[in-house]
Amino acid sequence: MPLARIFVSSVQGELAAERRAVRDFVQGDALLRRFFEVFLFEDLPAADRRADATYLTEVDRCDLYVGLFGRDYGSEDAEGVSPTEREFDRATAAGKVRLVYLKRTADRHPKMAALVRRAESQVVRRQFDSEPALQAALYASLVDWLERTGRLRTKPFDAAACPEAGLGDLAADQLEIFLGRAQTQRGYVHGPGTPMAAALAHLNLLDQGAPSHAAVLLFGSRPQRFLPSSEVKCMHFHGTEISKPIPSYQVFKGTVFELVDAALDFVLSKVARRVGTRAESTQVPVNYELPREAVAEAIVNAVAHRDYASGASVQVMLFADRLEVWNPGELPPALTLEGLLLPHASIPHNPLIAEPMFLAGYVEKAGSGTLDMATRCRAAGLPPPEFRQTGGQFVLVLRRPPGEAAPEVTTEVTTEVTTEVTTEVTTDEAMARLLNALVGEMTRQQLQEALGLKNDEHFRKAYLQPALAAGLIEMTVPDKPQSRLQRYRKAGAR
Q: Check whether residue 392 and residue 269 sit in a common domain.
A: yes
pLDDT for res 396: 96
Range of the domain at 459: 421-494
- Max CA pair span of the chain: 96
Q: Check whether residue 285 and residue 335 sit in a common domain.
A: yes
Is 202 within the bounds of a domain?
yes
Q: Check whether residue 412 and residue 425 sit in a common domain.
A: no
Of 71, 143, 80, nearest to 112 by C-alpha is: 71
Q: How far apart are CA 277 and CA 241, in angstroms?
A: 37
pTM for this structure?
A: 0.60
CATH number of the domain enclosing 306? 3.30.565.60
pLDDT for res 409: 40
Is 155 within the bounds of a domain?
no
Total count of domains within the chain: 4
Q: How far apart are CA 105 and CA 114, in angstroms?
A: 14
Last residue of a domain, one of 113, 148, 183: 148
pLDDT for res 335: 82
**Cβ–Cβ contacts within 10 Å for residue 209, how many?**
11
Q: Check whether residue 83 and residue 130 sit in a common domain.
A: yes
- Contacts of residue 173, defined as CB under 8 A and 6 or more positions apart, other chains included, come to none
CATH number of the domain enclosing 113? 3.40.50.450
Is 144 within the bounds of a domain?
yes
Q: Check whether residue 368 and residue 254 sit in a common domain.
A: yes
The pLDDT averaged over each successive group of 10 residues in the chain (494 residues) is 89 88 89 91 59 81 94 93 94 94 92 94 87 88 86 82 94 93 90 94 92 96 95 94 89 95 93 65 70 94 91 94 94 84 81 90 75 93 93 92 56 39 52 80 84 79 86 87 85 73
**Cβ–Cβ contacts within 10 Å for residue 451, how many?**
23
Q: Check whether residue 181 and residue 328 sit in a common domain.
A: no
Q: How far apart are CA 379 and CA 296, in angstroms?
A: 16
Is 194 within the bounds of a domain?
yes
Last residue of a domain, one of 210, 225, 240: 225
378 residue type, one letter: R
pLDDT for res 284: 54
Q: Check whether residue 35 and residue 75 sit in a common domain.
A: yes
Given a contact cutoff of 8 angstroms between Cβ atoms, the answer to whether 285 and 275 are in contact is yes
Q: Check whether residue 331 and residue 203 sit in a common domain.
A: no
pLDDT for res 155: 77
Number of residues in the chain: 494
Q: How far is CA 197 from the centre of its chain?
A: 23
pLDDT for res 421: 33
Q: How far apart are CA 295 and CA 399, in angstroms?
A: 11
CATH number of the domain enclosing 448? 1.10.10
